[in-house]
Amino acid sequence: MSPAGTAYAGEQIYEPLTASVRSALAAAVLDRAAPQARFASTFEQTDWMADMAARLPSRHKPTPFERSEFLQMARYEAQRAGLDPHLVLGLIEVESNFRRHAISSAGARGYMQVMPFWTRLIGDGEPSGLFDARTNLRYGCVILRHYLDMERGDLFRALGRYNGSLGRPEYPNLVLAAWKRWTYSKEGAIRQVSAPAPAVASSSPSGVGPTASLR
């Protein structure tokens, strides 16, 4: 085991990209707007952050600041890519268990276990950047979005591509189970206020929801 700890990840497989796809992915990776995650209300933001922070492993995220910063980035990058933030958190749990410097036996790096070849394809060519939290989350979310688009919304196949295990059920089912564990429950939050809570917009604009059925 490496000092940073090995990870579960398989190996994202290099596949040639058309010039237009490569350009679009590169633009998506390089945009560095300030990470401002979307919430339906201030109350939802406070409640969601507290709920998610309590679930993070304290060993890898020991301080409130670290937990808050990570969750803001993860939610922002997921929303930016049109993904449910809870799906992304579940995937991170399976891939690296929230270890920023995790390295898999295949060489994938960081929270979302991104293969270094992606930095040459659509980034600055510096694999070491994949240990930067926001950079890793950006790459991971952009890549998963790319695979979802490639598979026309088929989450099972997209997750298989992400893990390098296309067609096998083990990895997609692990991520689905983790996704359900991470899904935010609004019911507890609603009980804490006297007035009805405001409607919460779907956090999965792509239509990929936590009840998706995987083969």
* DSSP at 169: S
Q: Is the pLDDT score of 198 beyond 50? A: no
DSSP string, 24-78: HHHHHHH---------S-HHHHHHHHHHHHHHS-TTTS-SHHHHHHHHHHHHHHH
> Cα separation of 135 and 23, whole Å?
18
What's the gap between Cα 24 and its chain centre? 19
> Cα separation of 162 and 144, whole Å?
6
Higher pLDDT: 117 or 192? It is 117
pLDDT of the residue at 211 = 43
Phi-psi region of 98 (alpha: psi -120 to 50; beta: other; left: phi over 0): left
DSSP string, 176-197: HHHHHHH---HHHHHHTSSSPP
Question: Phi/psi of residue 10, each to 5°?
Answer: -85, -150
Q: Is the pLDDT score of 1 beyond 50? A: no
Question: pLDDT band for position 19 (50/70/90)?
Answer: confident
pLDDT of the residue at 207 = 47
| Mean pLDDT, residues 1-29 | 65
Residues 150-195 pLDDT 10s: 999 999 999 999 999 999 999 999 999 999 999 998 755 544 444 4
pLDDT of the residue at 26 = 80
CB-CB contact of 160 with 148 (8 Å): no
Does pTM surpass 0.85?
Answer: no
Percentage helix, strand, coil for the chain under 3-state DSSP, each rounded to 5 = 50, 0, 45
pLDDT of the residue at 146 = 94
pLDDT of the residue at 179 = 97
Question: pLDDT band for position 49 (50/70/90)?
Answer: very high
> Cα separation of 19 and 109, whole Å?
25
| Mean pLDDT, residues 67-89 | 96
User: Which residues are within 8 A (CB) of 202 and not within 5 positions of it... i.e. 6 or more apart?
Assistant: 209
> Which of 25-29, 43-47, 110-114 comes out lowest in average pLDDT?
25-29
pLDDT of the residue at 204 = 43
Question: What is the CATH architecture of 19-189?
Answer: Orthogonal Bundle (1.10)
**Beta bridge partners of residue 109, listed in sequence order:** 103, 114
pLDDT of the residue at 22 = 73
Query: Sign of dihedral through CA atoms 60, 26, 202, 148?
Result: negative
